[in-house]
Amino acid sequence: MAIKYVVKRNKRSEHSHKRRMYVWPSNPRVAESTAPYLCGKKKPNFLSFFSGAMGLDLGLESSGLKNIGCLELDKWACKTIRKNRPELPVIEDNINNWSGKDLLKQFGIAADEVSLICGGPPCPSFSTAGRRKSFDDPRGEVMFDFLRIINEIRPPFFIMENVRGILSAAIKHVPPSERKSANLLPEEKPGSVLRLLKKEFTKMNYTVTVELVNSADYGVPQKRERVIFIGSRDGFQISMPPPMFVNSGDLFTPRWRTLADALDCLHEDSPQIIPFSPARKKFLKLLKEGQNWRNLPLELLPEAMGGAYHSSGGKVGFYRRLSFDRPCPTVPTSPSQKSTCLCHPTELRPLSVREYARVQQFPDDWIFEGSIAAKYRQIGNAVPVGLGHQIGRSLLKYLVNYEELQDG
């Protein structure tokens, strides 16, 4: 079946919807099911895979959907889920050990009770901040286990979230120093992962919208770019809403929310942190709010940056003192490392666990289990709750109005 691939640009904001891609079967087809997605006053159900600390799940729930089960491998994330949602079924295992049929049996549900499957397969394999091993890394392969289970259960919709790097990732990673575009094999060329996914979506017979979004455009106090895949079994093209916030604000649209907005009224007597090393503090204390390594005295840069001083890229996370007046940068899985530094604007420490959670929009009563490092990791890996809410809103109008859409 032929596939159309369209890229659109939104000129409203340089930070909003920089790329929007639609992938869909070129010929309309009859829906697989004529049963309504939503009956009576019941909320539509969803299953969550790679649930983590439930950032995406909480956002979807706040939009009006109901979580009926989680699958997660990390033991501390599972403890976090059970602590906050003791009634929610949780499978603590690797997704590649399960089939769709076995999952439905374990959760005690039928396939037609599942309106949506959502998940963010582990992304270090595609991250521009990592080594980008793509499918040479087993963490890249679980994405296709995720799609396999979707195809076995065949819910009306699915959501897949990943890092921006997936748009340019290659199936087989080649180090930049060894790349010569004319000699690259098809699987070594940038973008080959996305092309492979298009083929998978065609085999699955799902219409899929792929969008690069900035979380700050949707009310999240964080500049966090992520790629959102929204799949429809029955041919609907579902896209994210237009940006609701813009960089500086204007007459009709409020400005991006800031770190000050996120931390408003938060008081901690003993904030949970992993302290900076004395060597790191030596340089951070020289920086003012909103500054980074570029603002250090030139004669100190070789010592401060170490081996990164002579590298051509990869310095964006070094020695960052945050600004209260701007959104937080993307929160990494650790704010105290040299290359992923997120220093408090006015104090000589990294953001605390609870401040991290505020930036990701978790409720203040949400409890994270494990060591401080495990808590940072769970929060840093999460989808911002507000972004999950807007994804859910985009889907809910199709779930609620399914019968009318089918008749149309």
| Exposure on the CB side of residue 135, measured as CA atoms within 13 A | 15
Tokens in use for 96? 């590649």
pTM of this structure: 0.88
* Integer Cα distance of 135 and 247 in angstroms: 36
Residue 296 contacts residue 287 (beta carbons within 8 Å)? yes
Instruction: Please give the positions annotated as active site.
Output: 123
Annotation: CATH topology of 3-250+385-407: Rossmann fold (3.40.50)
Per-residue confidence (pLDDT) for residue 140, from 0 to 100: 55
d(CA 166, CA 82): 31
Which two three-digit tokens encode residue 89? 């079924």
CA triple 136-141-144, angle to 5 deg: 145
Residue 326: CB atoms within 10 Å: 18
Which residue is it, tokens 């990164």? 308
Strands (E), 73-223: 90-92, 116-119, 157-163, 207-214, 222-223
Please write down the HEC assignment for all residues of the chain.
Answer: CCEEEEEECCCCCCCCCCCEEEEEECCCCCCCCCCCCCCCCCCCEEEEECCCCCHHHHHHHHHCCEEEEEEECCHHHHHHHHHHCCCCCEEECCHHHCCHHHHHHHHCCCHHHCCEEEECCCCCCCCCCCCCCECCCHHHHHHHHHHHHHHHHCCCEEEEEEEHHHHCCCCECCCHHHCCHHHCCHHHCCCHHHHHHHHHHHHHCCEEEEEEEEHHHHCCCEECEEEEEEEECCCCCCCCCCCCCECCCCCCCCECCCHHHHHCCCCCCCCCCCCCCHHHHHHHCCCCCCCCHHHCCHHHHHHHHHHHHHCCCCCCCCCCECCCCCCEECCCCCCCCHHHCCECCCCCCECCHHHHHHHCCCCCCCCCCCCHHHHHHHHHHCCCHHHHHHHHHHHHHHHHCHHHHHHC
In the chain, which residues fall in CATH 3.40.50.150? Answer: 3-250+385-407
Measuring CA to CA, which residue among 406, 245, 258, 276 is closest to residue 343? 276
Q: How far is CA 154 from CA 100, 146, 173, 303, in A?
A: 9, 12, 31, 55
Distance CA 227, CA 212 (A): 4
Q: 259-381 — its CATH code? A: 3.90.120.10
Whose tokens are 């701007």? That residue is 326
- Copy the structure tokens of residue 178: 């060894």
Residues of the chain with CATH 3.90.120.10: 259-381
Positive or negative, the CA dihedral 348, 364, 381, 60 is negative
Local confidence pLDDT in tens for the 408 residues of the chain? 333 333 333 444 434 445 455 555 544 455 565 455 554 557 899 999 999 999 999 999 999 999 999 999 999 999 999 999 999 999 999 999 999 999 999 999 999 999 999 999 986 555 555 454 555 554 558 999 999 999 999 999 999 999 999 998 888 878 777 776 668 888 888 889 999 999 999 999 999 999 999 999 999 999 999 999 999 999 999 999 999 999 988 888 999 999 999 999 999 999 999 999 999 999 999 999 999 999 999 999 999 999 888 887 778 899 999 999 999 999 999 999 989 999 999 999 999 999 999 999 999 999 999 999 999 999 999 999 999 999 999 999 888 765 455 555
Interior angle at CA 195, CA 191 and CA 199, nearest 5: 165
Q: What pLDDT does residue 307 have?
A: 86
% helix, strand, coil for the chain, step of 5:
35, 15, 50
